[in-house]
């Protein structure tokens, strides 16, 4: 078995931007199956039968997107294909998936500062000092639009909110302050000085139990003041 990740935009599908039932043909060269077959649109995992259908094949597996899909939407497909005589170790494939996603985030996103409060407690367990730890990270911030159906359904498509793509984890070589994973409640300051709060991590994208990237919803703090 062999793991594969492919990246598309809606422009690679049949039909016109904004149409439903558009079809995507994968570039698989071995038979795909339902095992570990994942489809993401705009960073959100889609549900089989309600949001897409798939016809598995030896080559050219076809995916039909049941809801409207626009040409500028990013589509990611991860799957396992049969490759006689090839044994996949898993580690290399997942590291490759992570590297691909991280390249997209760093290329199309920007550096931001993540701030997280830390508490110092006294001998009686009382908080004696609250300070903030800062980390430099890459993030790709996008407006929430009508294309983000799941975010709208969760009630998070409100003024001041945006969607953001994060690495699954940022190493010390990037942050300069140790390894860090983005969590709800963290503050993010962008290059324009705008401060955001991570309201919710709406999905940690996994393939075979290994996290590849995560998506969050952030809110401009100054709008709530």
Percent of the chain surpassing pLDDT 90 = 44
Please give the sequence-ordered ranges of beta strands (E in DSSP) within the chain, or none if there are none: 2-9, 22-25, 38-41, 44-45, 52-55, 62-65, 74-81, 110-121, 127-143, 161-167, 187-189, 195-207, 210-220
83: its two tokens: 């490759």
Model confidence at 66, pLDDT cuts 50, 70, 90, reads very high
pLDDT greater at residue 88 or residue 157: 157
| pLDDT greater than 90 at residue 93 | no
Separation of alpha carbons 60 and 28, rounded Å: 6
Average pLDDT over residues 9-15: 95
pLDDT greater at residue 153 or residue 90: 153
Spatial contact of 157 and 142, defined as CB atoms under 8 Å apart: no
Model confidence, pTM: 0.66
Architecture of domain 107-224: Beta Barrel (2.40)
Average pLDDT over the chain, rounded to whole?
85
| pLDDT greater than 50 at residue 88 | no
Q: Give tens-digit pLDDT for 30-58.
A: 888 887 788 988 878 888 888 999 999 98
| pLDDT greater than 80 at residue 204 | no
Separation of alpha carbons 141 and 61, rounded Å: 31
Least confident segment among 15-24, 87-96, 172-181, 206-215: 87-96
Q: Give tens-digit pLDDT for 111-163.
A: 999 999 876 666 666 666 667 899 999 999 999 887 887 788 888 888 889 99
Model confidence at 99, pLDDT cuts 50, 70, 90, reads confident
């Amino acid at each position: 078995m062999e793991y594969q990740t492919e990246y598309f935009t809606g422009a690679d599908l049949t039909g016109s931007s904004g149409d439903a039932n558009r079809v995507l043909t994968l570039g698989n060269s071995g038979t795909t199956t339902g095992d570990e077959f994942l489809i993401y649109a705009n960073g959100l995992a889609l549900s089989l039968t309600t949001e897409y259908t798939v016809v598995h094949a030896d080559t050219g597996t076809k995916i039909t997107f049941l809801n409207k899909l626009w040409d500028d939407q990013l589509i990611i497909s991860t799957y396992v294909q049969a490759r006689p005589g090839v044994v996949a170790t898993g580690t290399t494939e997942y590291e490759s998936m992570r590297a691909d996603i991280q390249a997209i985030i760093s290329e199309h996103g920007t550096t931001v500062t993540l701030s997280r409060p830390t508490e110092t407690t006294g001998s009686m367990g009382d908080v004696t000092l609250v300070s903030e730890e800062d980390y430099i990270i890459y993030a790709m911030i996008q407006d929430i639009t009508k294309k983000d159906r799941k975010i709208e359904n969760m009630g998070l498509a409100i003024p001041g909110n945006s969607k953001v793509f994060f690495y699954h984890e940022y190493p010390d070589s990037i942050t300069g302050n140790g390894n860090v994973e983005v969590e709800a409640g963290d503050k993010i300051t962008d290059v324009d000085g705008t401060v955001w709060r991570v309201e919710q991590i709406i999905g940690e994208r996994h393939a075979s139990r290994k996290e590849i990237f995560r998506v969050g919803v952030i809110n401009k703090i100054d709008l709530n003041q």
